[in-house]
């Protein structure tokens, strides 16, 4: 697989995407970097710098210190609500408009793909904008303002973000749709993920085993880089618009 510099999009990669009857896209935190949202791997900023996100995004962390976890999500929600979709998000919305069959599979919880215009998408890890009862699982849209963790009005359990934490099962429907797309797509475009979090990280090998062409977009090498058919080494906000331009040639 040819590793490419910023100024070349391989003709064959562009051709594969242009000719794809069914294009699937898998995104990770990297696609939101150019919207100002830190990835899980980047050091967190400010008061959260001393915390490892993978230690906070767990049921055990929430059970141990619900307020710490609730406040961490409130800080991220604020960051996300101030952020705007970037050129990479907009390019993926354009790909949906251009492709007969399309599915966007995102690991991100920031909602920026939907704000950029994608509609055919599954959110494997939930959404930071939704809140649910930690006991009943019901989605809650209003709660009493409090300096502590708000409690469920019907059962009194603490509320929590409606995201999938480590060691939690993914929403069945979303994972099934993602695996179905991996097995049937012609091309899987993998953008901005370290390809280390399962079961999402298994999707590219499932797609390749079913005969799909796998194209990776990432400024850094990942465990996927060695097996991807094409690796476009650069930031999503630059490479994806260049890919759209290459589709026009």
Q: Among 24, 109, 185, 188, which residue sits at the site for ligand BV8 (rule: CB under 6 A)? A: 109
Q: Smallest distance from the beta carbon of 21 to ligand BV8, in angstroms?
A: 26
- 164 near ligand BV8, judged by CB under 6 A: yes
Determine the Cα–Cα distance for residues 228 and 2; give it in Å rounded to an integer: 9
Binding range to ligand BV8, per CB under 6 A, among 30-38, 62-70, 112-120, 142-150: 30-38
Q: Among 2, 168, 210, 211, which residue sits at the site for ligand BV8 (rule: CB under 6 A)? A: 168
Maximum CA extent, the chain: 59
Q: Smallest distance from the beta carbon of 66 to ligand BV8, in angstroms?
A: 15
Buried-exposed string 154-165: b where 16+ CB fall within 10 A, e elsewhere: eeeebbbbbbbb
Residues catalogued as catalytic: 125
Q: Among 44, 118, 222, 231, which residue sits at the site for ligand BV8 (rule: CB under 6 A)? A: 222
Determine the Cα–Cα distance for residues 243 and 139; give it in Å rounded to an integer: 39
Tell me which residue of 244, 217, 220, 212 sits closest to 232, measured CA to CA. 217
- 90 near ligand BV8, judged by CB under 6 A: no
Determine the Cα–Cα distance for residues 44 and 40; give it in Å rounded to an integer: 8
CB of 3 or CB of 155, closer to ligand BV8: 3
Q: Around 244, how many Cα atoms within 13 Å sit in the side-chain half-sphere?
A: 18
User: Which residues lie closer than 8 Å to 68 by C-beta, 6 or more apart?
Assistant: 56, 61
Q: Which residue has the tokens 């919880």?
A: 109
Q: Among 29, 61, 178, 215, which residue sits at the site for ligand BV8 (rule: CB under 6 A)? A: 29
Binding range to ligand BV8, per CB under 6 A, among 7-15, 143-151, 158-166, 172-180: 158-166
- Residue ranges in contact with ligand BV8 by CB under 6 A: 28-31, 33-34, 39-41, 57, 107, 109, 125, 163-169, 192-194, 196-199, 218-220, 222, 235-236
């Amino acid at each position: 697989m040819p590793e490419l510099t910023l100024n070349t999009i391989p003709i064959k990669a562009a051709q594969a995407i242009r000719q794809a009857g069914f294009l699937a896209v898998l995104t990770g935190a990297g696609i939101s970097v150019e919207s100002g949202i830190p990835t899980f791997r980047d050091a967190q900023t400010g008061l959260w710098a001393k915390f490892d996100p993978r230690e906070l995004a767990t049921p055990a962390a929430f059970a141990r210190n619900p307020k710490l976890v609730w406040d961490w999500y409130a800080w991220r929600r604020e960051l996300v609500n101030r952020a705007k979709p970037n050129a990479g998000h907009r390019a993926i919305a354009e790909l949906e408009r251009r492709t007969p069959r399309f599915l966007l599979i995102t690991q991100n919880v920031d909602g920026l793909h939907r704000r950029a215009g994608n509609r055919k998408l599954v959110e494997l890890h939930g959404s930071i904008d939704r809140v649910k009862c930690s006991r009943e699982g019901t989605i809650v849209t209003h709660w009493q303002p409090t300096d502590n963790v708000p409690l469920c009005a019907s059962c009194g359990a603490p509320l929590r973000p409606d995201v999938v934490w480590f060691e939690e099962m993914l929403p069945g429907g979303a994972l099934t749709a993602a695996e179905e797309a991996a097995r049937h797509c012609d091309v899987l475009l993998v953008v901005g993920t370290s390809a280390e979090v399962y079961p999402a990280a298994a999707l590219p090998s499932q797609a390749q085993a079913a005969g799909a062409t796998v194209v990776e977009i990432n400024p850094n090498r990942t465990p996927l880089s060695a097996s991807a058919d094409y690796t476009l080494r650069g930031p999503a906000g630059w490479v994806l618009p260049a890919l759209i331009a290459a589709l026009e040639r």
